[in-house]
Amino acid sequence: MQLPPPSQKRLQQREELVRRLRELLGDPDQVIHRPEDLVVYECDALSAYRQQPMAVILASSAEEVSRVVRLCGEIDIPIVPWGAGTGLSGGALPLSDGVVISLARMNRILDIDLENRAVTAEAGVTNLAITRAVEDRGFYYAPDPSSQLACTIGGNVAENSGGVHCLKYGTTTNNILGVQVVLADGEVVDLGGKSMDQGGYDLLALMTGSEGLLGIITEATVRILRKPESARAFMAVFDSVESTGRAVSDIIASGMVPSGMEIMDRLSIEAVEDFLGCGYPRGVEALLLVELDGVAAEVEARIGTLETLLRQAGATELRRADTEEERARLWSGRKAAFPAMGRVAPDYYCMDGTIPRGRLPEVLHLIQAMSKDFGLQVANVFHAGDGNLHPLILYDSNAPGELERAESFGAEILQLCVRVGGVLSGEHGIGVEKRDLMPCMFTDADLDSQERVKAAFDPRQLLNPGKVFPLLRRCIPGGSMHVHAGELPFPGLERF
C-alpha cells in the first residue's frame, strides 16, 4: 500500500533538512533524498507497507552518526537506524517526517583478537563476514540467521538475532561482549568489553534487542568460538509434523543438547526441493534436521542414542551426512526455505513466536486448524530445539482481503504462543508488526516500566518512535494489527 504524496510543508522541510545535512557531512553523496532513490529504503523485509523518509544518511563513522543525531535533536527530526533491511518485524520502517541513518558503509573489521577469542567490527559488517575473517584460523561466530550472508552485526544486536545453532550456542545476547553506541543526545559510549564480567548495571544486555529505541549501534565486539572437532548432521522423516515435534521433546528430555534442531513440513520441503534440489525426500509430511557437534569421540558416542530416539519417536527414514559437503547440503535447504516460498505464493508473512518445547505438537496441530479457518496455506519452518516457531503464512497481496486475513491469522498464532506460556518474539523483534499485541503479554505496569527506560535514554522520543510500544493498552481481539482502507498503516509513524 502506498501512502499519499508528501505535503508541500513536508517538501519544504525536506529541502531545508537536506541542505543542512549536506553542510554537516561535507559530501553530498552521503545524503539520499530523491524519491526514486529512496525507494530502496521504503521498508524492511516486512514489505507489506512502505513509506519513504525525508532523507537517508550514509554514515561512514560513529562520529558522523553522532553529528547527525545532534542535528536531528536540534530540529526535532526522528531517526530510524538501518542495517541491511533484512528485518522481519517492520522495525526499520522509515518515518515520513524523519531520516534513516544507514550503517552500511561502516563495514570494517577493526580487531581480531584470537587470544581473547573476540572480534570487533563496525555495525555494517555482515554476520557471515565475521566467520569468514577467522575461519582460516579455526574459529567462527556461532549465531547464524538464515539471512547471515546479508544481515549486519549491528542489526543482529538490535534484534537479538539467533539462527539454526542457537539451541546450543545461544542468540546474539549470549555471544556479544561489547558495543559502541550513539545515544539520543549524540554522545558516543562504550558498553562492555573483551573481559567476561563488567561491574555495575548490565547495560549491554539492555541494549541488545532494544530495536534502535535506546541508541544506535556503531560497533560490536563478539565472542568467537573454536570450530568443533566434529559435526554430524542427520535428517529424520516423519508421518506428521506433530510426531516430529514429539521427537524434539524426547531428544531434549533425554539430556542431549544438539547444536541445532530444525523442523520443516511438507509444503516447505516441496518448495525447497523445487527451488534448490538439495536432496530432501518428496511426498513426506515432515522432516527433522539434527546436528551434533563437539569432540569427535563424544559425537560418535551420541549418534546411536540419537538414532534410537528418532526411531522410537516414529521416524520412517534416517539419513546421516557423512561428509562436510553432505552436511552443508542438508542445511542449505533449511537456509533457503524463506526464498523458496516464492514458488508457492506471491507473498508470505513470517511469524516469530516462541513456545515451551513440550507444547509443540499441540500448537502445530492448532496452527493447521487455523489455516483451514482462514483459508490460507501455512508452511512451518522453525528452530524446533528452542521452540522458536516461524510459520510462513502464504497469501497474495493483490487479492482483496488476503493481506488482512494473513495479519489476523498471524496475530492468532502469536496470541496462541502467549497462551501456552510462550512469548511474542524469539529473534525478529516487535517492531510495528507485533506492537499492538504487546498487551497480550505485558500488563500496563510492565509497559510503563519499559517506557520509563526508553524515556531515560531518549527523553524526546526521537529514536525509532512508533515501534514496540502499543498506542492503545489492550490486546486486540482477532489480531487486527493495522489500519487499511486508505488510512495510515501504522498510527504514530506520521507526525506532519
pLDDT tens digits along 35-66: 999 999 999 998 777 899 999 999 999 999 99
Map grid coordinates 563476514 to a residue: 129
Q: Is residue 273 scored above 60 in pLDDT? A: yes
Cell readout for 417 is: 504462543
Helix (H, G, I), strand (E, B) or coil at 374: helix
CA-based max dimension of the chain: 71
Query: Please, are residues 16 and 1 in contact by the beta-carbon 8 Å criterion?
Result: no
Confidence of residue 480 (pLDDT cuts 50, 70, 90): very low
Q: Do 219 and 121 form a contact (C-beta atoms < 8 A)?
A: yes
**Domains with residue ranges and CATH for the chain:** 8-102 (3.30.43.10), 109-226 (3.30.465.10), 230-340 (3.30.70.2190), 345-479 (3.30.70.2740)
Instruction: Read off the pLDDT band of 13 (50, 70, 90).
Output: confident
**∠ Cα 274 278 280 (to 5°):** 80
Direct distance between the N- and C-terminal alpha carbons of the chain, in angstroms, rounded to an integer:
19
User: Mean per-residue pLDDT for 188-199?
Assistant: 86
CA 379, 383, 384, 390 dihedral sign is: negative
b or e along 212-226 (b: 16 or more beta carbons within 10 Å of the residue's beta carbon)? bbbbbbbbbbbbbee
Residue 21 burial (10 A CB sphere; 0-12, 13-18, 19+): buried
Distance CA 290, CA 282 (A): 19
How many whole angstroms separate alpha carbon 145 and alpha carbon 45?
14
Confidence of residue 434 (pLDDT cuts 50, 70, 90): very high
User: How far does CA 266 lie from the centroid of its chain?
Assistant: 24
Side chain identity, residue 97: D
CA nearest neighbour of 495 among 461, 470, 455, 468: 461
Taking a C-beta distance cutoff of 8 angstroms, is the pair 191, 158 a contact?
Answer: no
Does position 475 have pLDDT exceeding 70, yes or no?
A: no
Res. 477 pLDDT band, cuts 50 70 90: low
| DSSP code at position 126 | B
Which grid cell sits at 19? 541542505
Q: Which has more confidence, 7 or 20?
A: 20
Distance between CA atoms of 124 and 154, rounded to whole angstroms? 6
SS3 114: coil
Residue 489 has pLDDT above 60, yes or no: no
- pLDDT attached to residue 12: 75
Question: Which has the closest alpha carbon to 222: 255, 192, 182, 178?
Answer: 178
CB 251 within 8 A of CB 269: no
Phi, psi of 396 (to 5 degrees): -125, 110
The predicted-structure confidence for 217-272, as pLDDT tens digits, reads as follows: 999 999 999 999 999 999 999 999 889 988 998 999 999 999 999 999 999 999 99
The pLDDT of 301-307, averaged and rounded, is 95
% of the chain with per-residue pLDDT over 90: 83
pLDDT at 479 over 50: no
DSSP category for residue 489: S
Is the pLDDT at 484 greater than 70? The verdict is no
Residue indicated by cell numbers 541488545: 208
